[in-house]
Chain A
Amino acid sequence: MQSHSLYVSADPSFDRKFAFITYGLLILLIVFFTYLHHGRPDVLQVPGNANVSAWKNPSLEQTNIYDRMTEAERAQVREKGVPGTGILPVLFDSQGDLTAFIFAILCFIHARKHYGFWMASCFLIGSFVFTGLQESIAILLGRFTAGQAYAAAEQVTHGTYFFTKGVLWFIETPVAVCLSWFWIAYACVFTAGKVFPRMGVLGRATIGGLTAMIIDLWLDPVATSPEFMMWLWAKGDLIRVLGINHSNFVGWFLLIFLFAILWEWMPALVRKWGRAKATIAFFGIVLITDVAMLIFLVVYNTYFVRNVLHLFGVSELQIPPGW
């Protein structure tokens, strides 16, 4: 990120209004969905952490991690439920609410200093909504449609997933995950800009997206292991990398790549339309991109991956073999 060209100076009256509306709306949504998740789990059919045998779409046996559990681990999870759901781990582990909040605050302060309050807020709220919405759609789509397809046809078009832990929730995604998306995206794209200062936005976004994807390549197998079970992958993806559905890595890259490009476009939008219209346009584009990305991922998984694998005469691929 080139801090000088992306800095948008403060406009106190607009910034106050903008902050009141966007942060206010976001807090309202979080309060509502947190209530829905904890208080009325029946509405979105939230899988219970205590009784894993009640899981349906997917059941414990339909998750990727099931095959990697020892019999003792399976028995323990069936008896005691998902591990680490006490208040301490939920607040303080690597994806805990407080841990994510601290890192997000640090990145926000940095962003505010280098790009101004409005740009920093757009990065925070934009990436929060962009990724939270994308995750929630993928989760709910799997829970309500692909899960049923699994039961009917013994296969799914793409493996879905769900998050198990969180105090605060945004739709069906923990707030900690949305905040982690923010600070990982910000740190990766910022670092890419520092390491390759002469690179254009496409190059920086590509490097930032790849950096984040590589971080997840190592982080995901650990966070989804039987000892953590922070999120659970359902079987169904035809390609698995280190035990994780490969579409996850495609998603990681695309989310950060696309968001970085959209965000860096904002100063140009401000110059063209003014700050109010630019804000509306930015969030509108973010939502449209979310839907477009989801359509792309479903088509990619349903047709492209299957056909490419058929071309090579294989029905499934595991990297490394056996995982």
Chain B
Amino acid sequence: MNVAFASSDRQFGKKFTVVALSLLMAIIIFSTYLHHFRPDVLKVPSNTDVSTWKMTPLEKTWIYDRMTEGERETIRKNGVPGTDAFHLLLYELLSLFGAWMCFVHARKHYSLWMATAFLVGSFVFTGVQETLMILSGRFWMGGGLLDPNVWGSYWFPQGILWFLETPVWVCLCWFLIAYSCVTVAGKVFPRAGLWSRAFAGGMIAMVIDLWEDPVLTSPEHMKWIWAKGDHVGILGIPHGNFIGWFFLIFVFAILWEKYLPVFEKRLGGWGGMTAFMVLLLCCNVIILTILITWGGIANQLFPLPEGLHIPPASWGW
């Protein structure tokens, strides 16, 4: 990544980092309280009693069809796996460690201000996007799963700390995947322009998820749970997920590298960051709109009961 301009004011960088992380922390504390202590507010699905899932009953999740009878029984009896303190903590700590390494690298190469902007920006950008999709599914479309025009939603069952309805470890993973994919793309294609690098970074991340998602959503992990609704599935995962992965990283890489330095130059540190965050939130809404619109079109193109499966159902999955 060849950043044209970045704040070199160390004092400002420190102040900015403290304020940005404090704000983020306050949101995380509030969201964590809401998730664990007032699950009724956002209708958080229970991990212990899956029979209470209403918007998306277990039978209407993608994973249900792939479970053995034994696995279904275990989940009905014991609840979602991996919700013990050890596993929850393991994921939080691993993602924190990975994110910390990327942050140190970013700080060294692009200044503290730019590194914090990447961390906080990608954290909020992806956390808000995930939460929008989760809550839109839960409150608007979850009840209409049989409607051919809807798209499949999802939710995360495991997490200690939460940002809105997305676990903090997921947001941290987004940061580290986005940062490392775009950095690697820049190293492998050093003469490529910003758009090409962002494209390559987005594609790398999407390909990683292509293999990662079927494993992490398996009955043994259930790190997130897909509701039926998307008629197009790739390796047993709704195809909208992969479009989302590509778009999030592609768009963020461009906004961070191209627009953040420009905003900072024109509006100063605080103003630049505020404009950057507003732009990110606008992009969140645009991406959600695109995904829902495209989901509706794709579902019309490939009506049930066949839908479209890649590889085709006759090939297997």
Binding site for B on A (CB under 8 A): 68-71, 83-84, 86, 88-89, 93, 190-191, 194-195, 215, 218-219, 221-222, 225-229, 242, 320, 322-323
Which residue of B87, B212, B218, B316 has the most chain A CB atoms within 10 A of its CB atom? Answer: B316
State in angstroms the CA–CA spacing of A190 and B236 once bound together. Answer: 32
Beta-carbon contact of A70 and B66 below 8 Å: yes
Q: Which residues of B contact A228 (CB under 8 A)?
A: 311, 316-317
Residue B93 interfacial (CB < 8 Å): no
- Please count the residue pairs between chain A and chain B whose beta carbons lie under 8 angstroms apart in the complex: 68
Beta-carbon contact of B68 and A222 below 8 Å: no
Residue B220 interfacial (CB < 8 Å): yes
Contact among A70, A194, A323 for B67, CB-based, below 8 A? A70
Contact among A68, A194, A215, A219 for B188, CB-based, below 8 A? A194
Asked if A222 meets B211 with Cβ closer than 8 Å, knowing A227-B317, A320-B82, A322-B81, the reply is yes
State in angstroms the CA–CA spacing of A68 and B69 once bound together. Answer: 10
**Contacts beyond the supplied A194-B187, A222-B211: 6 A-B pairs with Cβ under 8 Å:** A83-B315, A218-B212, A222-B214, A225-B214, A320-B82, A320-B221
Interface range on chain B (Cβ under 8 Å from partner): 20 to 34
Beta-carbon contact of A195 and B218 below 8 Å: no
State in angstroms the CA–CA spacing of A195 and B314 once bound together. Answer: 41
Q: Which residues of B contact A195 (CB under 8 A)?
A: 183-184, 187-188
Residue B27 interfacial (CB < 8 Å): no
Q: List 24 A-B contacts (CB under 8 A).
A: A70-B66, A70-B67, A71-B68, A83-B316, A84-B316, A86-B314, A89-B315, A190-B188, A191-B187, A194-B184, A195-B188, A218-B212, A221-B214, A222-B211, A222-B214, A222-B215, A227-B315, A227-B316, A227-B317, A228-B316, A229-B316, A320-B220, A323-B218, A323-B220
Chain B proximity of A88: nearest CB distance (Å): 7
Closest 5 CB pairs of A and B: A218-B211, A227-B316, A227-B317, A83-B316, A84-B315
Asked if A70 meets B68 with Cβ closer than 8 Å, knowing A93-B311, A227-B316, the reply is yes
Q: Which residues of A contact B6 (CB under 8 A)?
A: none
Beta-carbon contact of A225 and B68 below 8 Å: no
Nearest chain A residue, comparing its CB with the CB of B67: A70
Q: Which residues of A contact B317 (CB under 8 A)?
A: 225, 227-228
Q: Which residues of B contact A89 (CB under 8 A)?
A: 311, 315-316
State in angstroms the CA–CA spacing of A242 and B218 once bound together. Answer: 10
State in angstroms the CA–CA spacing of A227 and B273 once bound together. Answer: 47
Beta-carbon contact of A221 and B218 below 8 Å: yes
Contact among B184, B190, B215, B236 for A227, CB-based, below 8 A? B236
State in angstroms the CA–CA spacing of A222 and B317 once bound together. Answer: 10
Chain B proximity of A50: nearest CB distance (Å): 15
Beta-carbon contact of A218 and B215 below 8 Å: yes
Q: Which residues of B contact A190 (CB under 8 A)?
A: 188
Q: Which residues of A contact B67 (CB under 8 A)?
A: 70
State in angstroms the CA–CA spacing of A229 and B214 once bound together. Answer: 15
State in angstroms the CA–CA spacing of A219 and B214 once bound together. Answer: 9
State in angstroms the CA–CA spacing of A70 and B235 once bound together. Answer: 17
State in angstroms the CA–CA spacing of A88 and B316 once bound together. Answer: 12
Beta-carbon contact of A69 and B68 below 8 Å: yes
Asked if A70 meets B315 with Cβ closer than 8 Å, knowing A221-B215, A320-B220, the reply is no
